Amino acid sequence: MTNDLLVVENMVKRYGGLLATDDLSFSLHEGELHAIIGPNGAGKTTLVKQLTGEISSDSGSVILADKNIERYSEPARSHLGIARSFQITSLFPDFTVLENVLLAVQAHSGHSFRFWKRATEVADLVEPACAILQRIGLEARKNTPVAALSHGEQRQLEIAMALASNPKLLLLDEPMAGMSVEDSGKLMTILQDLKSKVTILLIEHDMDVVFTLADRITVLVYGRAIATGTPTEIRNNADVRDAYLGEEA
């Protein structure tokens, strides 16, 4: 039908009197890197949670590859190809790096009623997990418990976990949050590499990153999309300047 991988129509989420997502509609083209920017409290993380199914919308619909998935649970959407990374690192701290990615691979390799063989000795899981770690640059740390990783490494692992399911749509919720300049440079390379291989929705505060990477940008203010367009269009949009970018851009 279209070349849109994801279409969001009239999505609403209300928390008491607060409209976190206010009649939001937008779409993601297949293969694009689409950034969502907006001030704190604009409803960016709420939007991610609504897309993954962690929270349900009050109304509206989410259409993935021409299929309405509004009623699908979070695990079911993961199996349809939606994966996310978390703004606040959410890993398995007492597992090793490899065991973390292994678990994410395992989730997409049939059922887990396998009671006997050590998970870390199942080649069908270990090989893809190691490949992802290599791609993300964490292979040397694979036997390190997550709790012993640096913040930057944990952020990298966040991305690796999301990639492990081989997603069609990757939702990255502020992947650079709290990273050193050096680490975010590394992550930038990783994202550049990922771009065009998978459709990405990127939420990010670092405008340099957004304007360098994004094919299109949507500006979210109080749960509403006030503009969508190419980086140049957004930079020159008067409403966006007023609401968010200000003199910065």
Q: Which residues bind another protein (CB under 8 A)?
A: 52, 54, 73-75, 78-79, 83-84, 86, 90-96, 98-99, 102-104, 106-108, 112-120, 122, 125, 142-143, 145, 161, 164-165
**Nearest by Cα to 104 from 128, 137, 88:** 128
Nearer to another protein, 115 or 248 (CB): 115
Q: In the bound complex, what is the minimum distance in angstroms from residue 94's beta carbon to another protein? A: 6
**Nearest by Cα to 6 from 71, 87, 70, 74:** 70
Q: In the bound complex, what is the minimum distance in angstroms from residue 14's beta carbon to another protein? A: 22
Nearer to another protein, 93 or 185 (CB): 93
In whole angstroms, what is the distance from residue 41 CA to residue 229 CA? Answer: 22
Do 33 and 206 meet the contact criterion of CB atoms below 8 Å apart?
Answer: no
Nearer to another protein, 91 or 209 (CB): 91
Q: In the bound complex, what is the minimum distance in angstroms from residue 58's beta carbon to another protein? A: 21
Cα–Cα separations (whole angstroms), residue 173 to 119, 128, 221: 29, 24, 17
Nearer to another protein, 54 or 139 (CB): 54
Torsion angles phi and psi, residue 81, rounded to 5: 115, 15
Transcribe 162-187 into DSSP letters: HHTT--SEEEEE-TTTT--HHHHHHH
Q: In the bound complex, what is the minimum distance in angstroms from residue 205's beta carbon to another protein? A: 22
Q: In the bound complex, what is the minimum distance in angstroms from residue 21's beta carbon to another protein? A: 19
Q: In the bound complex, what is the minimum distance in angstroms from residue 62's beta carbon to another protein? A: 16
Nearer to another protein, 13 or 77 (CB): 77
Nearer to another protein, 86 or 244 (CB): 86
The gap from C-alpha 120 to its chain's centroid, in whole angstroms, comes to: 27
In whole angstroms, what is the distance from residue 111 CA to residue 106 CA? Answer: 8
Beta bridge partners of 217: 35, 229
